[in-house]
Amino acid sequence: MSFTYADVGATRENAGFCPPGFHRLHARTRLGEGEELFRRAAEAVLTWEMHRTMGVGVDADADRAAPGVDVTITLAGMIKAPCRVVWTVEEPRRAGWAYGTLAGHPECGEESFVVDRTGDGTVWLTISAFSRAAKWYARAGGAATRGLQHAYARRCGIVLRRMCADLDEA
């Protein structure tokens, strides 16, 4: 199965990238501070734990995000969203991954989930995406669909912050 959009991997170098005809999403959440919190948050993102804790169904070819891994996200117990990991990063101060949509996904585009630790020790989750509707119900939802996407991104940050709250050095 091939990707449903042309700019595969574009979120890796430019989180603000948005091709013409797509909608941009950017959400950044402060998780706390410290190396241990960074490691915990990075592991939760790379192993799908953050998504599962949110109540999202995750059916993946692997226990950890890696380029080429196919993953189907199930929302509300019925909306299936097939995608494939297009890139990952695991560095001392930055970790995460991005998926690209495959045929059958309600949207068309790419979304990244990156945890980074800044020079002052602050740990952030940044979710960046570009997308457009692919299914009739996503098109029919219009601005409400985009609102749900933004709410989902904000919820990821809230859930991950709660998962790591006992490790915050601040």
Q: Which domains does the chain have, with CATH numbers?
A: 21-165 (3.30.530.20)
Quote the CA–CA distance of 159 and 3 in Å, as a whole number: 29
What's this model's pTM, rounded to 2 decimal places? Answer: 0.93
Q: What is the DSSP string of 136-165?
A: HHHHHHTHHHHHHHHHHHHHHHHHHHHHTG
CB distance 153 to 27 below 8 Å: yes
When pLDDT is averaged across residues 30-46 and rounded to a whole number, the result is 96
Report the share of the chain in percent with pLDDT over 90. Answer: 81
Question: Residue 45's closest CA among 109, 90, 5?
Answer: 90
